[in-house]
Structures are given as structure tokens and as C-alpha cells.
Chain A
Amino acid sequence: MGRYVARRLLQMIPVFIGSTFIIFMMMYALPGDPIRALWGERAPDHAQMAAMREELGLNDHILKQYWDYLLGLLQGDFGTQIRSRREVTEVIGDALPATLRLTVMAFSIIVVVGIGLGLVAGLRAGRKTDTAILFVTLLLISLPVFVIGYLYQTYPGQQWGWITPVVQDSENWGDLLLPALALASLSLAYVARLTRSSIVENRRADYMRTAKAKGLTRTRAVRVHLLRNSLIPVVTFLGVNLGELMTGAIVTEGIFNIHGIGRLVYSALNEREGATVVGVVSFVIVVYLVVALIVDLLYAVLDPRIRYA
């Protein structure tokens, strides 16, 4: 187990270097010049542009730039933004708390409600409850996130006045409820569908019959045997989903005015802030890699037949 984890951690290094390299090159290949953009519609100041390029090392060969960036990264230096001249670490640090809160909330909703609905539907397969859940989940899957977002904002927020329609304070849990629900809706439906089919499949498995024959109560058989075994595909999905929640919230963050990672990447891309984009993406890559490792380790917890050496 320990060796397995160590090996996986070592594997992360080339993956990390490779992916940052690709992103770095992609940012470089994008048309548009962030320095020129500082002057907007106005005539740029050529002497100053040249001086800034020199200072930021943008005149160096692209590979040299990447090498310098990587060296900086090793020392915890993510570079500086061109426009605001702020440290990228500081910028990410500002956006992270809101994103983390939103992710935790959305993720909890997905896990609890998604698995709950899937379990009920699976246990009552073919009956009215199952059909009702099928209907709701299909509806959620087919609605784009911005439709859900605006619906939540308009009805509970503006019309009925239950909750403030736009997040006032990105670090207030109550304010984040609507966006978290909007963000969770789609994945929640997927998780419910996945759980349901897995439960239906495993309900007739041999081990369930054995469990019943042993005299276990139905609750215990469902909780300890059926649910646990059925969660393997769901956990795989949840692992990938966690990464998506962290960066894919661009639309939701925009609708509810949350100053999180998604918006940060979006605006950085628009402004060709290479260092910010690569910085955020590197961070997300690490999140993905760690989550993938945790998911793999969870398999062994869920299914005792799986062992790592």
C-alpha cells in the first residue's frame, strides 16, 4: 500500500510537467498580445511595450521562458500578472476560498441527494417512485446549467424573496446555497442514474442472497453489502466531478457573481494572462491527480477483493 502510493506520487511528476508544458505552449500559441492590450483601443507606446517585454522576459525563446517558469514554480513562485502586477499565488489565494466553499457545498449535495435518490430508485425499481425520480433526473440532465441558474435566481431569489438572488459575500455559506444547488443539479442527476443502475444490477447478486440467507436484516444487507459494492462506478464519477466543480463553475460563478477560480481562468484567458492560466491549471492538475489517487485507494475500501501492492 505505502509503496503503491509512493509510486503513484512519483508518477505525478512527469504528468505535471507534461501538462504544464502543453498549457504553456497553448497560451503562447494563442493570438493576441497581452502587452499591446494594456493600451486598449489607443495607440500603444512602443518604447514602453519593448521595455515591459524585456522586464517580463517575453523576448526570450519560448523554451527558455518555460524553463524559467518551471524553476520559479519549484521555488513556489507562480509568476506575476501583467496587468495588475500582482503575484499569481496571491490572486489564486483570493479566489480559492469562495471556490472551495462552493465546491464543498455542491459536492455534499451531489453525494447525499444523488446517492440517496439513486438508492431509492434502485430499491423500488419499476415502481412509481422510480419513475418519478427518472423524470426529475432526466429533466435536470437536459437543462443547461445557466437555465437552472437563472431559474433559481429568478424564482426563489427575485420573485419569492426567500434568498438573496446574487451572492453578496462569497464566503457566506447561506449565500452560496443557490449557486451550489445550480452547480450540483447536473452531476446529482448523473450520480442518481449511476447509483440506480448499479443497485438494480447488484440487488440480485449472489452475495445479497447469501447475506439474506445468513439472516442479516434488510437494512444491514443493503448498507453494508449492496450499497458499498454498488458505489464503485459512482466514486469514479465523483472523483472526476470534483475537479470539474472546481474549475467548471464559470457560468454559475458569473450568474451569481462569485469571485472564484472559474471566473479567474476565464478572464485570464481573455486577457492572455499566461502566468495566471498556467498557474490555475497547474493547481487543478494537482487536485485531479490527488483525487484520482484517493479514488483508486477508495476502491480497495469499498471492495475488499481489490488490493494494491
Chain B
Amino acid sequence: MRPRARLCSVIAGTAALALAAAACGGGDGGSGGGDGVVRASWGDPQHPLEPANTNEVQGGKVLDMIFRGLKRYDPESGEAEDAMAESIETDDQRHFTVTIEDGWTFQDGTPVTAESYVDAWNYGAHVDNAQVASYFFQFIEGYDEVHPTEEGQRPTADTLSGLEVKDDRTFEVTLSEPFSLWPETLGYAAYAPLPRAFFDDHEGWLAKPVGNGPYKIDSYRQSQGMTLSRYADYAGPDRPRNNGVELRVYTDNNTAYTDLQAGNLDVIDDVPAGQLANAENDLGDRYINQPAGIIQTLSFPLYDRGWRGEEGRKLRQGLSMAIDREQITSRIFHDTRTPAGDFTSPVLGDNGGFDRGLCGDVCSYDPDRAKDLIDEAGGLPGGSVTITSNVDTGSHRQWMDAVCNSVNNALDQRDACTVNPVPTFADFRNRVAGHEMNGMFRTGWQMDYPLIQNFLQPLYYTDASSNDSGYSSGEFDDLIDRANAQGDEGEAIDTFKDAERVLVHDMPAVPLWYQNGTAGFSERVSDVRLNPFSVPVFTDIKVG
């Protein structure tokens, strides 16, 4: 019997070793996260952390902490308020004089001057620097010279001719056209000032970015995480109420959710789709579900004969009325989307031009009226319609099926609407850009800044950059131009809303729903909320 005993002891020994290791590992579940430090989930930023090279939320999260620009969007109202700007003055909505506050410094001790802004903007705009958010500078005169639009063209200037430094605290900006709300765009991270170190030691700066915001970066390990602490000499009013933030990279938001429940994490800013049904139960009032600046729409190929003219217009309105938005948002999205009643987003607020009732009946579910309108127009072109989208991300497949179901029920016809899935996003966008659509297709818009202008002009102005449906209306374009030239903000917003009413009449796209941002937080922290870009307002979070 001896040999057997020995074998067993080997196995028992291994098991004991495993348990011992388990015991060692279990001890310090809440590693990291020192006193008063917020532990938050993060994703790898898609681009290097340069202000003008960030167009997604993960990089934006860090930039929001380490930079303050001329303006800052109030987390509650979404309104642009002065941050570093002392004043931005104009007489003609085209020439602006910007004066910055005194006393601001970068985290390396150098002062923030007018030059810090002008240099940063020139860098961001220049085509050779390959910044993905360059288009933010397109309103400034001389943009075409530093950033030609045609392939193969070389820039003919090194700097924007519309920027001029007056003195340490003043610079002048000339836009290529009047744009009354331009100062309100300046809260976006792309407009942040940059210290000399950014230009002198670019590699070093990227390894550990230095800004002028409420937090400074202590350590940054790419693909792993980042620790930030309070910047003691921060000159703005929104000083952090915690000692710092630890950002941890999660490759899967389900894992982050698990860690939140295990008490290893304090803030997650994207509740996984699979957990939405449980989140309210699991987290109670520690679950946040609030509007983000994103609207989802279905666009029509107005370049296709079948969708044109007065009959096309009736078809489009009819289809809009055939969609039961209420049911889809509650059943499929667990109320993390709300039915859309205009072409903007709730984050704009009523003063900013949001108006849930603007679309009126045309965006309400009315199957009988929908059927009448479509019949009046002579039925769907070719007898049926498709909805095209990529299906590799999100829950696109599910809601498209639901929309089609809704249309089929309204028209009382089984195959009136079918889903046309495209495997990858890239492929889908190529087809959209190539005007290859013949039915409805998915379009969505995430705002650049919380302004009504941003929800209308880039999408529906003739030949605008994201005008995928090929919509062109002289009336709409005129109203947009007029609104941009108006000096009074309230009047400008009213004129933008008039332009939006043209869209309701023409229906180049059907507003589906406003997207919400979701978040959850642990019992260890309080005062967590999301800003209009769905980024947690870290400076407000209290620990303990």
C-alpha cells in the first residue's frame, strides 16, 4: 500500500499549495485605491492622448481631468461657462477677441498664455500632425491652407491665418464665416492649451501628459491604468473633492461590473448591456441612467429615385409613424434610450433648443395613419423596405428586428420590412459613403459640443461632412446660415429650431431615440454623476 499513499500525498500537496496561494491572493482584495482615491473603470484610449487627437470617451475622460480650456460645459445644464476665458468679445460674429484669466499654470510650472492656445490650435489643425479632431478648427480662417480637403494636396501655410496673439493674455480669432455660437464650442477638449513641453519633448509628453486641469498624472502605464492626483496650483473653481483618481483598464465591461460588485472598483461608466435588467436591483440608487448627447436615426437614400419627391416624403413620414418607439426602448434597451421627439438631444436643455414635442405626430406611433400615408404614396418602393446596418457591435440586430416588426404590423404585411445586416462597421460605412443604399439605414450622431447647431448642420446641410442621406434643402440651408449670423443667442436658437421644422416636414431621417449614458458606483463614494458627454464628473466625487 505504500506507493499509493505517496501518490496521494503528492496530490494532496498540490491541492494544499493551490489553497495556500488562494489564501495569499484573497487577502488584499481592495488593492490600490489609497485614502480618498476614486477607483474607476477605463478603456484603452484609441489614440495617443493629445487634445486634438481624441474623439472618443476613454481618452476624453483623461483630457477632461488634466485640461481646462476657455470654456467648460456645466455638468448639469450642459451650458458653456467661462473656465479660463475672462471674456470672448465680438461685434460681427466673425472676429473674436479672447482674453484669458491671469494666474493659470501648467502642471510643469509654466504659465498658460495666449500663445499656449494659439500654438495648440495651430498644431491641432495642421494636416501633417494627423490629429483626428482637426475638423474642430475648420471654422477658423486659413484652415484650408493648413489642412487641404483634397487627397494629395499639400498645405500651403504652417499656421492658421485667423489666429493672432496680441499679448500674453489676449489673442484674436477670425472665422471664415460668421458663427454666433462659436464661443460655446470652446468647451471641447480639442481646444485645450498646450505647454511648451508638448512641442519640445513630444515623446516624453505623450508618456506622461501635462495639462492645466484639476488633476495631474502621477503614473501612466498604457493598456493597464493611470493614477492621477490633485493639482495643487489649479486655478479653476472646480477643485477636486477627492485625493485623486485611479483609472483601471478593463477589456470587458462585464468584468468591471463584477469588480464593482466585489468592492474592488468605485465607478463604472458603462453598465454592460446584459446587466441592464439587473442593474437597478443590484445597485439601487447607485445606478445612473441619464441622457447622453447621442441620437439614433434611420436615414433614407434620397439619391435613390424611389425615395424622392412628394411621394417619397409621405413614405418617409409614414414609416416614422409605423415605429413603436416606446415599446422598443423599454423592452430592448431597458429604458436606457428614450423615444425621440426631435432631431437634437435632451442634454441641450430647453434653453439650448431641445424640444421633445417639435416632431409632433410625425414621430409618434400611429399605425393607421402610417398605413394611410404609405398607401397614398403608392406603397413602398418595390413593395418592401430594408433596414441596413452593421451588426458586429451593440444590439443593432435586435432593435432593427423590432423596428421591422413594428412596420410589418402597421402595414399588416409580413415581409414589408426586412433587416439587411452588414458584417462589419467598416464595410457598412463604405457602402453608406458610396451611396449604395436603397432602403433605410442606421445613422447615429454623437455631439461634438452641446449645441443645437451641432445636431443639424453637420448632418443635414447640403454636402455637409456627415450628410449620409444626400439631403439638400435651400430653405434649411438658409435658416442655418441665418442662425449662425445672429448676434443674440436666443434668436439664433429659435432660428435653428425653424430649420429643424423643415426637417420634420422633409424627414430625410427618422429620429428613433435619444441614447442615455449609464454608470454605477460603489458605497464607498458619493456625488457621482455624468456630464453631457457621459463622462463621470470626477472632481465632484466624494470618497468615504
Contacts and interface: CB of A to CB of B under 8 A. Distances in A.
Given A36-B426, A47-B147, A219-B2, A164 B261 contact: no
Contacts of A84: 44-48, 222
B252 interface: yes
Contact of B127 (A31, A48, A165, A176): A48
A38 B47 CA distance: 8
A112 B22 contact: no
Interface string A138-170: 000000000000000100111001111110111
A46 B148 CA distance: 9
Given A116-B7, A164-B26, A47 B127 contact: yes
Nearest to B294: A41
Interface stretch (A61-69, A229-237, A254-262): A254-262
Given A84-B48, A116-B11, A222-B3, A47 B150 contact: yes
Contacts of B135: 45
Interface residues of B, number: 70
Interface of B: 2-4, 6-8, 10-11, 14, 18, 21-27, 29, 31-32, 44-48, 55-56, 127-128, 130, 132, 134-135, 147-153, 221-224, 249-252, 254-256, 258-259, 261-262, 264, 423-427, 429-430, 433, 444-446, 458, 465-466
A31 B251 contact: no
A117 B251 contact: no
Contacts of A33: 426, 430
A134 to B, nearest CB: 16
Contact of A175 (B25, B55, B262, B430): B25
B446 A41 contact: yes
Contact of B223 (A95, A156, A163): A95
Contacts of A86: 222
A39 to B, nearest CB: 6
22 contacts: A31-B423, A36-B426, A36-B429, A40-B55, A41-B445, A42-B465, A42-B466, A46-B149, A47-B148, A49-B151, A52-B130, A84-B45, A117-B11, A120-B4, A158-B261, A162-B22, A168-B264, A174-B24, A219-B6, A222-B3, A255-B255, A257-B252
A172 B264 CA distance: 15
Given A45-B134, A48-B132, 5 more contacts: A47-B147, A166-B259, A169-B31, A173-B21, A259-B224
Given A40-B56, A46-B150, A255-B252, A158 B262 contact: yes
B14 A116 contact: yes
Contacts of A173: 21, 24-25
B255 A254 contact: yes
A46 B151 contact: yes
Contacts of A77: none
B264 A39 contact: no
Nearest to B465: A43
A120 B26 contact: no
A172 B251 contact: no
Q: Which of A32, A91, A272 has the most CB of B within 10 A?
A: A32
A84 B46 CA distance: 6
Contact of B251 (A52, A176, A253): A253
A83 interface: yes
Interface string A195-223: 00000000000000000000000110010
Nearest to B150: A47
A27 interface: no
Contacts of B445: 41
A83 B46 contact: yes
Contacts of A55: 130
Contacts of A178: 22
Contacts of B423: 31
A155 B423 CA distance: 37
A181 interface: yes
Contacts of A222: 3
A181 B465 contact: no
B390 to A, nearest CB: 10
B289 to A, nearest CB: 22
Minimum-distance CB pairs A-B, first 5: A174-B25, A32-B426, A43-B465, A50-B151, A257-B255
A168 B465 contact: no
A37 B55 CA distance: 12
A164 B424 contact: no
Contacts of A164: 25-26, 29, 262, 264
Contacts of A158: 258, 261-262
Which residue among A33, A41, A86 has the maximum number of chain B CB atoms within 10 Å of its CB? A41
A293 interface: no
A168 B31 contact: yes
Interface in A246-280: 253-257, 259, 263, 267, 272
Contacts of A303: none
A162 B132 contact: no
A83 B32 CA distance: 29
A119 to B, nearest CB: 6
A38 B429 CA distance: 12
Nearest to B11: A116
B158 to A, nearest CB: 15
Contacts of A170: 224
B475 to A, nearest CB: 23
B62 to A, nearest CB: 14
Contacts of B14: 109, 112-113, 116
B258 A153 contact: yes
Nearest to B27: A174
Contacts of B254: 255
Nearest to B392: A270
A48 B10 CA distance: 63
A123 interface: yes
A123 to B, nearest CB: 7
A307 interface: no
Contacts of B23: 162
B249 A259 contact: yes
Contact of A257 (B22, B44, B259, B426): B259
B444 A41 contact: yes
B251 A259 contact: yes
Nearest to A164: B29
